[in-house]
Structures are given as structure tokens and as C-alpha cells.
Chains A and B, each alone.
Chain A
Amino acid sequence: MVKRMSNCTSCNCKSSKNLPEDLVKIFEKYTKKRENVIPLLQDVQEKYGYLSKENLISISEYLNVPTSNVYGVATFYNQFRLVPLGKHLIRVCRGTACHVKGSDKILDKIESELNIKAGETTSDELFSLETVACVGACSIAPVITVDEEFYGRLQQKDITALIDKYRKSD
């Protein structure tokens, strides 16, 4: 049990820590109810790119929900990640329509181009690679997204140029 010295001064949670301002701003949007675990995790992840151990603890203290529960939620849903991402997030759709149109080959090509596997980040921290179940653009399969941009009707031979575009923009 962590001994609590005094209450947090930046918000009225029971934590002994002073929370960063960004976090306080996010917390202020939500009431201290269990049902807000997921929205909080989403907002915190959007702000910081991932969920750090400290932030998971802060959320649990703010909502007064056991950290184990918050961790349980964070590890249940595909959306959440506990490690930081690279600068660009490449997501390869592995939905049925994309699968039938050869998304496995697109994934292979990206993996070999970046020299990482899905779920990993390149050593220069420029790219992270993930797979998703369907991004809802099935009619232009196979589809990948890079950050917020969609790319459809892809072929293996398009990949190098596409990735180079992001390499060069940095």
C-alpha cells in the first residue's frame, strides 16, 4: 500500500502526486464514474500516444477504480497500447474484403520494407505497424491507413514509394 501524504492539489483526487496539467484537463471532462474508464483511456492515449503505467494509475485513482481493473480494460481492447508509438502509424486492414484482395501480401511487403513485424516499431521510431479488422473502406480494398490518411486499391509495388513519401517528409 502506498502511503498517501496529502491530497493532490491539482485536482481533488486522492493521489499524493501533482498531476500534469494536460491530464487534469482531460480528467475535468469526466465525472468520477466507472463508466468513464474507456473514454478516459481513449483521451489519455490520444494525448500521449500510449498509456503509461503512471497514467493508468492516475486514472484509477481519479475514478477510484482498482488499477487492476483499469489495466484489465486497457489490455482487453485492441485500441489501447501500453508502449509508445513511432512517428507514423501504419495500419494494414486485415478484414475479409481486404484479405480476399491480397492484404496478406501487402502486409508482407510492408514488413519487409520496414524490417519489422505487425505490432512493432522501427528502431528509428519513425514507423509503427499494426493490423486492424476493417476500416470500413472495403470497396477500395486492399486498404491501409497511414496516420489519418487512407490508401486504397494498393498493390505490393506501390508500397516502397508510399513509405518513402513519409520518410522524406521528415
Chain B
Amino acid sequence: MSDRTKIYVGMGTCGLAAGAKFVFEAISNTLKNLKIDAEIIPTGCVGYCKREIIVDIAKPGYPKLSYGDVTAANVEGLLKSVLVDNVHNHKLIIGKYPTAEVINKDDLNEVPNINDLPFFKKQRRLVLKNCGHINPESLQDYLAFEGYEGLKKAFAAGQLGAIDEVKKSGLRGRGGGGFPTGMKWEFGNKSVPKDPDNQKKYMICNADEGDPGAFMDRSVLEGDPFSLLEGMTIAAYAIGASYGYIYVRAEYPLAIERLENAIKLAKENNLLGENILGSGFNLELKIKKGAGAFVCGEETALIGSIEGKRGMPNPRPPFPTESGAFGCPTVINNVETLANVPGILRHGGDWFASVGTDNSKGTKVFALTGKINNAGLVEVPMGISLREIIYEIGNGIIDDKKYKSVQIGGPSGGCISEENLDIKIDYESLKTVGAMMGSGGLVVMDEGTCMVDVAKYFVEFCTKESCGKCTPCREGTMRMFEILEKITTKGIDKQEKIDSVKHLEHLAGVIRDTSLCGLGQTAPNPVLSTLKYFKNEYDAHIYDEKCPSGHCKSLIHYEIDESKCIGCGICKAKCPTGAIVGERKSPHKIQTEVCVKCDQCVQLCPVKAIAAK
């Protein structure tokens, strides 16, 4: 334990969005005023976004203590309490981190152990173990947490030895497909460059994270960039690639900044570049910034984009391991896949394989978002149930509303209804309920979410992101969108709607079977899974011309409950079209013909008297 107090501030994108910069400054000012010497360390995000901004304090001789909901305004009081008065059980406390021996002094007894808190209890942190605990801009910090031990073991084990260890671990690709990583590396290792003038091999990290509603990879890049570099270096060594690219989406400026810094430091310390750690192995890594195209997450499109072309997928075979970037053998792995690798080499494949289910080993990081109390980043062992994630870790639905579904796997995935919540998370079981693991987005929906609208949302997303190369995807997703639009519009002939839904299922089958790449092949999934599990909602839209969740604009109207309205006039004053009439202190009315359904009155009403019907 060091003899200087350390104060850690969560400064990932989400922390910064919540104002972490101001908290950082306030801490620095307070320390000056109190004349206390302490080191302030910016970190990535621990994932407990609900309690953002999070500040951890580690005093010499004390366990590390975590505080949440910290603001620039309340941080001075917190620091005084903890650093001057030795009152640790402050009202902002989250908990204390475990220490080698139990430390009991002052009021520490009253502070809960962080691993006993529902949010952390069932988590198992292998990939995120450093996130929020180290300074992502310091190589020293990473090294202090067993950093680069894995690479040294890989060098000692040799290329095939490293591949064997990964095979033994059972690690499968975390980018969505779930392909066994060790096997992919073996293909890459055996593959020989065909072009006599270009005898290179490439290792590419897919950090495009296109699934809208997911931020696992961003958190690793921002919180622990060296773990990715180490994993990538091991992978490149194992397949014999001396050139590598990290393809990061341009929407992640902070991640790019931290990666650039990490690459620079690694180079300066002989952990990248020529003759790494005296092994004779060279690796040159470059960052390629994406330019905002979902399809570029698909591996062949990604390669096209790296080569400076429009990011359009190509038929496979040939697989990238045979002919990838610039025609050379190429292995592509996802960020989370690679971030798992240093641990596997360090502790052995068997250690990793001891976590998880028969066919899905290790952990999975999920971005838990939507109508959930504890939104954030969670890492759980494979085999945990969705119910545990949502009701224990996530602490249930906001405002105690009724759970409706959880969307897993993004535009390629499906919606899981209440009846299937006990399903164990692994690659195979999720497929049995029409969903897939995907990259790790978990968007929770409550009774106020319309499932037809969700299907329409994803289909619209795919129409926009379809690259246009193959017809089933380009035209088919558009036709699916039109049908869903028809169902959610008032005044269209009922029979026409009924026929078009029948057509929808057929169309979905054709798109799935005949599209060129994964984008088109999986685009019908959100439609098929909602049709299967939420058929009643489709029926209500078609037969009753009603949206039971009060979301689809064309099918709803707004009403004021006269028994609740107190006639305060707030809604009337703010209505952009003057649709609301009524005298002060007496119940108001909405003139439906004038109403543009902007929903503002619902949000403004102090007594919740207005609702969409």
C-alpha cells in the first residue's frame, strides 16, 4: 500500500457527460484549501452509471472506499468527512473494496462491502477488472496489475503453445458470431500469404461497436486500453502477423485518444514495434477511424473500409484468414475477445474454462440500458439468467412498471418476453428463443414500449445502414419497413393490413436466406421475434387500430382526465399549437384536431392527468 492518499475519479465518456471534469477540478481545489497531499487519478468507468459520478478514495492503511452521486458541489463535504474527520460512512457511500486482511477501524464496520451490493454481487469481472481502478493513461498502472505477464507467457509458450492455451480456454468471439477464437488463430497461423510481392499477415481489432445501445467495447478502450493492446500483441504473435489495425468508430473520440496514448507508451517501452521484449517478434499497430457505417462492423466490409473503399461486404469464402486486408491472411477479433486473452495466457486456459457453461466459457460484458433502475455496464459469468441480470443486478424496472421485454443482440437480435426470462445466457440457448448473444446490448423495455414500434425501429435502422450491394437486403428491408409503417397508420383498409402481415413473414424468410452478409441475414430477427412473442400487440394495431402502449402517433390521441385536472394552465401555456382549452382552476380539454401529439403536456402536467390513449 502506498503512503499517499489516492483519489480516483470515473472519467469515461459517461462520467464526463455527467460532469466529471468539474468534480476533478473541485477535488483539486479542495485538496489545496485543506492542504492535503493526495494523488488524483482519472480512471475509466466501473459501470455503475446509476451512481455517476463515482469517486474512490484510498487512504494509506484503509481499504479503497467508493462514493457515488458526487458533484462539484458536494465533493468538498465528502473530502472533509473522509480525509479530515475520518467519517467514512458518508451519505454518498457505495461501499468498500475487499482487502487482503480485514481492516477495522473508525466507522469502517458500518460501510458495506462492495461485493455484497446487489449490483456487484453476481458479477464476475475478468475483462473489466481494471476498469475504474487504474489510470488508463499510465502504463505503470497497467503493469502493476499483472500487465504484460500474459504476453511474456505467450512468448515462452511459442506460437502454437499460445494458440493451444486459447483453444483450451474455450473462448469464443464476443463480436456476435461466437466463433471459437483459438480455431480462428490456428487458421491464421497456418495460412500463407499468396502474393509473392506482399508477404504480410494482418491482425485486426474490430472496435467498430455498431450495435446502437451498446458501449462495452468503448468502456474497455477508455478504461483499460493496454489490455486490448496486450491481447492484440499476443494474437498477432500467435498467427505471425507483424502488422495490425485497430478499427475504432469515429463516434468514440475519447477512446481513440486513450488508444493513441497507449500505443505511444507501449512503443516507447518496447511493448510494440521491433523485437518486442527481446522475442524477435515485431508488431506495427495503426488506428483506423471508422466513418459512421454500421455495416463496417462486418469483417469483409471492415477490411474494405481499411483499404479506403466503400464499406461493402464480400462473399465468403475466401475467409479473411485466407485472403483479408490487401489480399493477405488476416485475423479479425472483437475488442472484448482480445481483452480476455491476457488473462487466459496469464492464468491458463483451464482457469478461464472453469467459468461459464459447457459450450460458452468465461464471462460476457453487457450494456444494461433502457427502463432499468441500475443502468450500466455489467460483466457476468455465462450461464446466469436474464432474470438475475434484470432483477438483481439491474434492480428491476424504473418506477416499478411492468416488464415487457429485453432486446438482446441489437439489430440482429430479438426481444425476450417474460416467459423466457429464466433462460441461461449462452450462445446456443439464446438462439432457441429467437435471439442471439450479439455484442452485448441489453435494452430493457417496460409496458410503455410498443413492440411493433421496436420492430419498426430496427428495420428502419437496417434500411438506412444497408450498403445497397445485394437486393434482398436493400429492397427487402425497405418493404418490411413499409409494411410496419402501414400497420401503425390509421385509416388504411384492415384487409390490406392483414394481408401485408402475412406477406411480412414470408418476406422475412427470403431476406434471411438470400442476403449476402450478416446484416441482411439477421435484419428480420427483430420482426420475427416480436411477431412470435408479441402477436397480441400486432393484432391490436391491425384490428383495433390501437397502440396499447400509447406510442404509435397515428393511432393515439391525448386526453385529460377531468377528475384529476386542477386547471393550473401549465399545459395550455406551453402547447405549441394552442390545442388545449379551459378556464383556470377548472378542468381543461384537448382539441384532438389541433393536437400535434408532441407529448409535452404529458411531461409537464404536475398531477399526471394527461395520457395518450
Contacts and interface: CB of A to CB of B under 8 A. Distances in A.
A19 to B, nearest CB: 20
B177 interface: no
B407 interface: yes
B604 interface: yes
B13 interface: yes
Contact of B251 (A73, A94, A98, A134): A134
Contact of A97 (B209, B250, B305, B443): B443
A77 B369 contact: no
Nearest to B307: A35
B218 interface: yes
Interface in A50-75: 65, 69, 72-73
B16 interface: yes
Contacts of B210: 133
Interface residues of B, number: 61
B18 interface: yes
B600 A136 contact: no
B61 to A, nearest CB: 34
A157 B604 contact: yes
Given A78-B291, A136-B218, A156-B603, A37 B308 contact: yes
Contacts, number: 159
Interface in A25-57: 33-39, 41-42
Contacts of A95: 212-213
A96 B308 contact: no
Interface string A134-158: 1111111101000010111001110
Interface in B236-256: 250-253
A99 interface: yes
Interface stretch (A2-10, A105-113, A121-129, A161-169): A105-113
A38 B121 CA distance: 45
Given A79-B250, A112-B576, A138-B369, A96 B603 contact: no
B528 to A, nearest CB: 17
Contacts of B118: none
B367 interface: yes
Contact of A137 (B215, B407, B441, B443): B215
Nearest to B576: A112
Contacts of B441: 96-97, 138
Contacts of A35: 306-308
B311 A156 contact: no
Nearest to A78: B292
B213 A134 contact: yes
A42 B291 contact: yes
Nearest to A145: B17
A137 B250 contact: no
B310 A139 contact: no
A80 B292 CA distance: 9
A138 B367 contact: yes
Contacts of A77: 290-293, 311
A133 B292 contact: yes
B309 interface: yes
Contact of A96 (B14, B16, B410, B604): B410
B527 to A, nearest CB: 15
Contacts of A100: 369-371, 443-445, 449, 454
B306 A96 contact: no
Interface in B323-343: none
B293 A112 contact: no
Contacts of B445: 100
Given A136-B251, A139-B49, A76 B310 contact: yes
A28 B252 CA distance: 25
B461 interface: yes
Contact of B377 (A72, A94, A132, A139): A139
A144 B532 CA distance: 34
Interface string B219-251: 000000000000000000000000000000011
Nearest to B289: A42
Given A97-B369, A99-B457, A112-B598, A137 B13 contact: yes
Given A96-B212, A134-B214, A137-B17, A156 B600 contact: yes
Contacts of B320: none
A87 interface: no
A96 B214 CA distance: 9
Nearest to B468: A76
Given A73-B309, A99-B213, A139-B50, 11 more contacts: A73-B310, A76-B310, A78-B293, A98-B213, A112-B576, A112-B598, A133-B294, A134-B213, A148-B253, A150-B13, A156-B599
Interface of A: 33-39, 41-42, 65, 69, 72-73, 76-80, 94-102, 105, 108-109, 112, 132-141, 143, 148, 150-152, 155-157
Q: Considering the complex of A and B, which 4 residue pairs feature the smallest CB-CB distances, nearest first?
A: A96-B213, A95-B212, A150-B17, A78-B292
